[in-house]
């Protein structure tokens, strides 16, 4: 949780581990998208250019697998941290300040849409907004499904000991369409929402520095601000 009351009106929002994991997943995901689509659209001029840089189809395929291992290792590191956080640090994994999905997030999403259409008030966001939770769960779950279908494509002979061969086709289809959705959302929407929209333009450095100003929390996360204020009152009294 945010340790508040720090100097210069800053609050620590992401720990060093999470900043590092974000950078790893960012680089890994981008590379996976580039190499994967270059393999699939091998006839396109840009794909051939990228393939040439990485040493042909074999280079593309091995870079893809290498990045997949790094990205999935980041996911595993995060899961290990969750266990440590729960068991050793006695932290909470559910509740208002966590990534755990709540019914309120669905209401927030439609409330937010209503706000965009000038029909409703802006929902009062807590530590993680609905789109941040969606980004998080999309990666956490998506990396596992991509990992499973990817492993089927990496070791088809081994999997065909139990599965009929057309499961390799199914794995490829699922891998492809999930990649299309993931890239369309993460390569386009995530940068726009997190950095490029007018409220945060030109960039939000929080995920890289880990710090967020108290002023921004008051403005953009009123529910978190309220909770922080009540915790402060309890600590003060």
Interface contacts to other proteins, rule CB under 8 A: 39-40, 42-43, 47-48, 51, 56-58, 60-61, 112-113, 115-118, 153, 156-158, 160-161, 163-166, 168-170, 172-174, 177, 180-181, 184-185, 188-189, 192-193, 197-199
3-state secondary structure 102-123: CHHHHHHHHHHHHHHCCCCCCC
Smallest distance, other proteins to C-beta of residue 180, A: 5
Smallest distance, other proteins to C-beta of residue 101, A: 16
**12 three-state secondary structure:** strand
Smallest distance, other proteins to C-beta of residue 149, A: 12
Q: In the complex with other proteins, which residue's Cβ is closer, 103 or 166? A: 166
* DSSP codes, 149-172: HHHHHHSHHHHTTTS-THHHHHHH
Smallest distance, other proteins to C-beta of residue 57, A: 4
Q: In the complex with other proteins, which residue's Cβ is closer, 65 or 112? A: 112
Q: In the complex with other proteins, which residue's Cβ is closer, 10 or 124? A: 124
- Are 142 and 182 in contact, with CB atoms under 8 Å apart? yes
- For residue 147, CA distances in Å to 15, 20, 23, 70, 185 come to 26, 21, 19, 11, 18
Q: Six-digit token pair at 62?
A: 């091995």
């Amino acid at each position: 949780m945010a340790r508040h009351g720090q100097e210069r009106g800053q609050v620590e929002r992401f720990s060093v581990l999470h900043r590092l994991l974000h950078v790893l997943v960012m680089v890994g995901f981008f590379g996976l998208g580039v190499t994967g689509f270059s393999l699939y659209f091998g006839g396109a001029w840009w794909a051939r250019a990228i393939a040439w840089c990485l040493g042909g189809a074999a280079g593309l395929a091995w870079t893809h697998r290498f990045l997949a291992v790094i990205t999935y290792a980041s996911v595993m590191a995060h899961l290990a941290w969750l266990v440590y956080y729960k068991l050793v640090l006695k932290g909470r994994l559910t509740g208002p300040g966590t990534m755990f999905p709540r019914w309120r997030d669905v209401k927030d999403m439609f409330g937010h849409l209503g706000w965009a259409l000038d029909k409703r008030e802006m929902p009062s966001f807590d530590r993680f907004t609905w789109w941040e939770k969606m980004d998080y769960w999309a990666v956490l779950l998506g990396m596992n499904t991509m990992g499973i279908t990817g492993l089927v494509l990496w070791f088809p002979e081994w999997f065909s000991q139990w599965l009929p061969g057309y499961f390799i086709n199914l794995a490829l289809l699922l891998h492809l369409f999930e990649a299309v959705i993931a890239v369309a959302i993460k390569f386009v929407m995530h940068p726009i929402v997190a950095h490029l929209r007018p409220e945060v333009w030109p960039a939000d450095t929080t995920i890289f520095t880990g710090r967020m100003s108290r002023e921004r929390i008051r403005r953009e996360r009123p529910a978190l601000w309220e909770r922080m204020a009540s915790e402060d009152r309890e600590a003060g009294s």
